[in-house]
Structure 1
Amino acid sequence: MRYRRQETFRYILPNPRIIPYKLIWEDKELYDGEGLLLNVSSHGLKLRSDYLFPLSNDLQVHFVLDLVPTLQPIELIGYVKHRNQLGTLYDYGIMLDIKLEETQQLVTMIKTYARENK
């Protein structure tokens, strides 16, 4: 499956961060784990995990992003758009289901994080 996230604003974390996530499938929690946040934009992110996510349009990935301690954490929901395997790890391209207000909060968080981690 080929997918390219065409966004002008994508921040690649110089030191990827571990973030918690939950997989929700058919209104039931399927898995609760942690992954490595590699990059993030206003509409998506790239996550690396050792867990093999089922590829289904009904699978929701719930995140809490807390990149900047002085800002309010943001709870986000996304959907897996693609998966690449790297040995025993998997990279997931996740499109966020995000509202305008959350997008603005996320962009503020990314910009603040980038300024503080030059």
Structure 2
Amino acid sequence: MRYRRQETFRYILPNPRTIPYRLVWEEKELYDGEGLLLNVSSHGLKLRSDYLFPLSDDLQVHFLFDLVPTLQPIELMGHVRHRGQTGSLYDYGIMLDVKADETQQLVTMIKTYARENK
């Protein structure tokens, strides 16, 4: 089933940026890697990676958002909602599990990043 993220605020990075991620499955670290952040909103993101994530509700994807050097990095966690393939790479739609304060920090980081990278 195709999942569509219906959000009014979504920033598509003109030059996708590499971000670190960590996969945790059944409370065990499964994989550490980096992926390209293609777009991000206050509740989700699209990530491109060469690693094939297992599709499981128990899989957690942990991110460290450090898009703006002057702002404190944000550690967030999410779950894969869909996966697509482009050649040998995989695109993942990830729904973030964020609290209200984390949402505000993330929105501030996205807006600052967008202003600095016009």
TM-score in terms of structure 1 length: 0.99
Tell me the equivalent position of 2:40. 40
- % of aligned pairs identical? 86
- 1:36 CA drift (Å): 0.2
Q: Does 1:114 align with 2:118?
A: no
Tell me the equivalent position of 1:29. 29
RMSD: 0.4
Q: What do residues 71-91 of structure 1 show as CA deviations (whole Å, max 9, x unaligned)? A: 000000000000000110000
Tell me the equivalent position of 1:17. 17
SS at match of 2:32: strand
- 1:4 CA drift (Å): 0.2
SS at match of 2:102: helix
Q: Which runs of 5+ in 1 are unaligned?
A: none
SS at match of 1:63: strand
Partner AA of 1:54 in structure 2 = P
Q: What do residues 7-43 of structure 1 show as CA deviations (whole Å, max 9, x unaligned)? A: 0000000110000000000000000000000000000
TM-score in terms of structure 2 length: 0.99
- 1:62 CA drift (Å): 0.2
Q: Distance in 2 between matches of 1:87 and 1:13?
A: 21
- Count residues in correspondence: 118
1:1-118 equivalences in 2 (<5 Å): 1-118=1-118
